[in-house]
Every structure is written in C-alpha cells, then in structure tokens.
A and B are shown apart, each in its own frame.
Chain A
Amino acid sequence: MKPILMLAVSTIALALGAGAAYAECGIEAGSVRILSNDFEALRAINAAAQECASGTVTVTANATTEHKNLQVPALSINPAEYTVAVVANNSIVPLLNDDLIRPLDDLIAQYGQALQPSQLVKIDGNTMAIAFMGNGQHLFYRKDILEEAGIEPPKSYDDILAAAQIIRDKGLLEHPLGASVKPGWDLAAEFVNDYLGTGAEFFAPGSAELAIDNPEGRKVLEVMRAMTAFMDPDYLTYSADELIKEYEAGNIAIMVAWGSLAGAVLDDQGAAEGVVENTVLTAAPTINGGTIPAAALWWDGFTIAKNITDEDAAASFQAMVHGISPDMMNANKEAATWLIQGYEPGPAAIGVVDNANGGARPYPMQPYMGLLHTALSTELAEFIAGSEDAEQALADVKAAYDTAAKEAGFLQ
C-alpha cells in the first residue's frame, strides 16, 4: 500500500501547489505541446509542466513509446504538431539531421537562469537541447556471493570472467553472469558500450566510413562471447527488463544492466531473499586494459521545435524549465539520475554517477550512428548465438551498414 499512499500524498501536494505554480512559470500566453517517451520520470516532468496551464496558456502532453516514430513528421509540418520534443542522445539525431529544432541560447539567456552549464547539449556552439537526466549501464554484483567465493570486487571484464569461473567451480551458481544481449536494440547497445570502453572510434575521422573492424572490435566480440559461456542458456531472450527480474530472483551474481532499472532491484518488491541488501552498484567494468568504464552515458533532454511561433517557443521553454525544476526533482528523487541543480544521488543512482566520474564516453551523436546501431542489432545475432565467428560478424555489420548508409546518402 505504500506507493498508493505516496501517490495520494503527492496528488494532494500537486493540487495545493497548482495555484502557486501558476505564478512561478511566469508565462503570459502561448501553447505548449509536449511529445515524450512514456516512463515515470517523464510523466512527472510533463505533469509539472502542465501546472503552467492558465487561462491564456494551454499545456498538453503526449507521452507515448512511439515518440521516435512520430517526432520527425510531427515537427516537420508548419506549425509543428508539438512544440517540445523530449529526446535522448540517439533520438535527437533525426531532428538535427532534418533541421527541425531551434537553438535555445537566447531563451536560456532570458529564462534559463536555473539551468546548469552541464545540462546544455551544444552542437556547433549552439545549445540545441537541455538535458535533465542521465542514464547508462553499469555493474551490479552480489557481495555475499563474491565474499563466499573469496573474490575481490571486479574492476574489468577480465576480473569478471575470472570471478565467474571461480563462482562456478565452487558450485555457488552455474550461470553467474548476466547482460542484456537479446538480438535487437539491446545487443547493439551492449556492443556500443564495450567498444566505447576501448577508447576506439566507430568511424574513420571526418567521414561516415565504418572503422570497427580493428583489434578493439575483435576484442569486444571476444569478451562478449566469453561472457555468454557463463550466462543462462536462455541469454538470447534476455532484454534489459527480463535481465533485472532474473537478477532479482537471485539467479545472477554479476551483471551489467541499466541504471534506470536499479531502483526496481533495490525496492522491497519482488526480490528474492538476500538480493537487496547484498547488491552493490558501481561503475561499468573496463575492457581491453582500458581505464574508463565500458558503458555509454545517456542523457534525456528537451528540445524546442523550429516550426512554431516565437511566443509558443518561449512559453514552451518556460513550461519545460518549470517541468524540470528542483521542486519536481525533490518530489521524484528516486525516479531518475537527475542532472538538475541540487540533486543528491540516491542509492540507486550511484552506478550512473560512478560511470560519469570514471570518464565514460557519451553515446555517439553522429548522424549515421543510428544506422550502425540497426546494423549491429541484426548482424551480431548469429555471433552471439555462437554460430558465426567474429571475422564474419564484423564483415556482416560492415556490409549491412554500408548498404544502409548508401541508401541514406552518407556514403557513396
């Protein structure tokens, strides 16, 4: 009953706060129309932004998992269907490629005093998006199992593989490792994480030419395959969500999983005995003798459409600044790893913060990165299933990427 009680309390708080909030937003007139993904943190932001509605200001929000498919057509008409598109590292790219969002620098100067410099996503000197939360995959491990096996906490993938062998040999768990390598988006994200950790670049400098067929790329594949030997035989069907539940059931000792899902492990719901109190969250492991966590850093932020009036743009910006205000953040502390001023990371956010402090690299924003992600998501399937060698897998990825990049006009 606890969450329900909390909800009731926060609803009352919202109702009480609504009157005061109107004055805070300071919007005179305009129409604010938000398009966003559908998860708890964004729903909280949308609700906070909607407090700005008044007689002259309308605020509507459409939170849907289809937002990626809708945003380009919705913003390319004039006036745009939505004034605000909430995006992440990957979903901002189509908007940038088609020039559908506006630079925010003048709006920041006017209304953005509460924002921190680290929140600004700058492209070619112009701020194109305001980030408000971070995410990424990091290490989860069970300290009780590691202690029982007499292993130090692992720092690198080599440590993890060695630890897995010991845990198996001591008969503690037959399948101690976990990672979300389900063919599709998850598998590609896993490769991108590990490859970023090697410090190598995906593309040849100054061109869209793919450059992952190198020793680093091979090493990444080798590590990914070696990990699967210690995973549950069903690993090909483990999405991020499924993996977390497997971990909560106590079936995994060490895994790399999404920081946004850590809260679900640490809450008192659904976990097997001993899992919650023994779970340690820390930065993602290093790979190939590198020094940075092998994980992409992700941010979620908002952008303002180009094809709308300046009045609506100003109203939208103000409403969103109110939406990501410290008040909203304080009321939803556990919902995300916030980048908002005054945020103190809670226990569930430690891993993502460790990644950032360890110097992990952001998920690339190159215009053709999405094509590579799609190519990886299908062409690595046979490799991770064990029916293809690394040589062939890298050749397949390159062939698939080249085909797509030619169709999209990035390669000749």
Chain B
Amino acid sequence: MPNKTFFAFILPSLIAMVLFIALPIVSVVVQSLYVAHERVMVQVENCQPFGGCSTELRVDAAATAELQREQPLGRFNGLGTYFNRAHLATDELGAILSSDRSFDQKVAQIFNLPFYKALIFTLVYCFVVTPLAMALGFAIALAVNALPKVTKGPIIFFSLLPMIITPLIGSLILYWMLSPNGILGATIQHIFNDPTLSLRASPVLTWTALLVYGVWTNGPFSFVVFYAGLQTVPADTLESAMIDGASRWERIRYVIIPHLAPLATFVALVQLMDNFRVFEPIVGFSAEANATSLSYLIYNDLSGDAQQFGSAGATSVITIIGVVILLMPVLIRTWREFKLKAV
C-alpha cells in the first residue's frame, strides 16, 4: 500500500490518538520528572466557626507564584520521584536486603512498602485471571457453537451479562451476595459448617473472591472474540480432518486452535493489559485493606485531599513500562507475524 493511501486511511484515528493520548502521556512523563517548588510559608492567624483562632502556617501564594513564573514546571528532580519510597523505593529496598533479618521478615518488610504491596496483587491478578478467563471464554465459545441455532441468541446475551453490568454495581451486588448475610456467603458458611467464615475479614478469601470475580467478568470478552473467530474456521479443513479420521479433540487441537491463535494473541494482549490496571473490583469489594493495585495507588494519589500529580504520573509511567515488559513476548510474536506478512 502506498504511503499516501496509508496515511489517508489512518490519519483521523492517528490525530485523535496523538491529541488525546500521546500528548498527555508526554506531559505526564515530563511532569513526573519535576517536583513542586519549595513553598514559601508565612505564619498567619486562622479563625474557623466554633473552632476559635490559632496561629498556623500558610502558603505565601504571591511568593510561590513568583518562583512558578521563573520555572513553570517546578524543580527538576530527574528520576527522583521514581525511586522514592512511594514508588520503587530503592533506598528502602537496599536497606531491607542488606539487613540481617530472616528471609520471612525481609519479605514482610518489602511488602510493607506501598508500591510492592500493590505490585504483588497486580501481578497475581494478572497472571491468574488472564489464562483462566481465556480458557473459560474458549470453552463457552466451543459449547455455544455446538448448540442449536435458536438457543444461541439468548445464550450469547446471558453470557455477556457479566461484562454488561456496570462494574461499579456488579461488584457491589456480588460482594453483597458473598458477604456473611448474602445468599452465597451464607451458603458457603453452611457448606463449610463454619458460621464465622467471612470473606470480608480474611485476606486469603478476599483475594480468592477478587480473582473469581475477575475471571467471571473477563470470561465473556474472550468468549465473544473466540466465538466470532470460530465462525471463520474453514469448513472444508474441518471436513477433511474428519475424513482423515481425526477425533474431536484432535480437530480442536490441530485445526481450531491454530486457526484461533492470532485472535488468542489479541485477547491475551488486551486482557493482560486490562488486568494489569485492575482497579474497580478493589473498590467494589471494599478490599483496600487486603489488596491494592498500581491503579489503586494512582487513584489514591489523585483523589486525596491533596492531589499528587507528580506521584500519580510516575506510577502511571511505571504501569506503562510494566505493561510493555509483560507484553514483550506477544510483541515479538507480532513482529515476526508482521514480517511474515510483509514478505
């Protein structure tokens, strides 16, 4: 395809992405390299309703604005923000590793750092939910494909429900069903015969619930893509495999799976990325005490009483880098396929 035609086709979407994603990313990266100016403080007397008066410090806005005018971005800090305690915490990590504590204590100390506490849950979620949700989606797609035509429509809709219901409310309702007074929670207590069993109180159960919820909401996405892919499996290849005496399992293994492989790459790519940014279930399940994720850290920085843009920016950049590392094998594969296509 000639360059000119190529860009004529892709220009609208390229403009949209550059304006609304690329430029903001650049500005976030730049912002994360700077920290705020030293604030000029003055002592003032503050009086509040029914609180009386007290002498407190206050930012001298005029003097701070003066500094701001000279250097609008703030003080250059290089990668300082990336390595401080709220992020990679290299100093703290070094101190913990070089201390003479036992291995268990060291691990506990590392997971006491907010970044690593969030990272471990993020990674576990990512690597447990993605393959299980893909397997579930594939199984549903195969099963739905084998159904008589009339039942397919409603079943497709029901299968999509976990994805359709707003995560905000979906997780809230499921969470309630799983709580000790809810229908599922009470049933689980009954099954294990343990009336004190509470999903909300135990870290292990909270993690399990989050992971199960993750598979439940992500399964339908894989299902839809794989189901669409199944429709394009060439019938004659299947038939000739049947004539050759291939069993059902062999047909799935040697015809269907290779045919769906490019789609699987795509699904894995999207799912790994989305799961790496897991956030909503943590809030929906009120799991902040036991599980945090990188996106949760960003949310926490931005939604607090004092917004910390630099810190949130650094976590976002680390998230992007994490995603790229995670996707490396898939990217290399895509590159090979791409070169193959070009030939």
Contacts and interface: CB of A to CB of B under 8 A. Distances in A.
Q: Do any CB atoms of chain A lie under 8 A from CB atoms of chain B in the complex? A: yes
Interface in B34-51: 35-39, 41-51
A146 B62 CA distance: 56
Given A124-B58, A297-B51, A384-B289, A407 B81 contact: yes
B288 interface: yes
B308 interface: yes
A409 B201 contact: no
A183 B37 CA distance: 31
B307 A72 contact: yes
B201 A236 contact: yes
B44 A124 contact: yes
B65 interface: yes
Contacts of B57: 206-208, 366-367
Contact of B38 (A98, A392, A409): A409
Interface string A373-410: 11001110110110010001000100110011011111
Interface string A356-376: 100001101111111101100
B38 to A, nearest CB: 5
Interface in B248-306: 286-290, 292, 300-306
A121 interface: yes
A384 B290 CA distance: 11
Interface residues of A, number: 72
Contacts of B62: 99
A120 interface: yes
Interface string A82-108: 000000011101101111000000000
Interface in A110-136: 118-125, 131, 134
Interface string B79-110: 00100111000001000000000000000000
Contact of A183 (B45, B51, B84, B289): B289
B311 A407 contact: yes
A370 B305 contact: yes
A370 B307 CA distance: 8
Given A236-B289, A400-B86, A404-B311, A94 B56 contact: no
A125 B51 contact: no
B315 to A, nearest CB: 12
B316 interface: no
B47 A120 contact: yes
Contact of B306 (A118, A131, A374, A388): A374
Contacts of B47: 120-123
A258 B85 CA distance: 33
A157 interface: no
B306 A94 contact: yes
A301 B48 CA distance: 11
30 contacts: A89-B48, A96-B59, A97-B59, A98-B61, A99-B61, A99-B62, A99-B65, A119-B49, A122-B47, A123-B44, A184-B300, A206-B57, A233-B198, A234-B179, A234-B200, A234-B201, A239-B286, A297-B49, A301-B49, A369-B305, A373-B306, A374-B301, A374-B306, A381-B289, A392-B112, A396-B112, A403-B84, A407-B36, A407-B310, A408-B308
A185 B201 CA distance: 19
Contacts, number: 180
A313 interface: no
B196 interface: yes
Contacts of A99: 61-62, 65
A378 to B, nearest CB: 6
Interface in A271-300: 297, 299
Counting chain A CB atoms within 10 Å of each CB, the highest count among B42, B45, B290 belongs to B290
B180 interface: yes
A14 to B, nearest CB: 28
A237 interface: yes
A410 B39 contact: yes
B140 to A, nearest CB: 32
A214 interface: no
A339 interface: yes
Interface of B: 35-39, 41-51, 53, 56-59, 61-62, 65, 74-75, 81, 84-86, 92, 112, 114, 179-180, 196, 198, 200-201, 203, 286-290, 292, 300-308, 310-311
Contacts of B114: 378-379, 400
A56 interface: no
A206 B289 contact: no
A399 to B, nearest CB: 5
A33 interface: no
A374 B43 contact: no
A361 B301 contact: no
Nearest to B179: A234
A356 B303 contact: no
Contact of A122 (B43, B46, B311): B46
Question: Which 6 A-B pairs give the minimum distances between C-beta atoms?
Answer: A370-B306, A99-B61, A370-B305, A362-B51, A124-B44, A374-B304
A7 B46 CA distance: 40
Contacts of B51: 297, 361-362
A403 B304 contact: no
Contacts of A373: 304-306
A182 interface: yes
Given A365-B46, A403-B84, A234 B56 contact: no
A367 B43 CA distance: 12
Contacts of A131: 48-49
A121 B286 contact: no
A379 B170 CA distance: 29
Contacts of B292: 378
Given A90-B305, A183-B288, A412 B38 contact: yes
B112 A236 contact: no
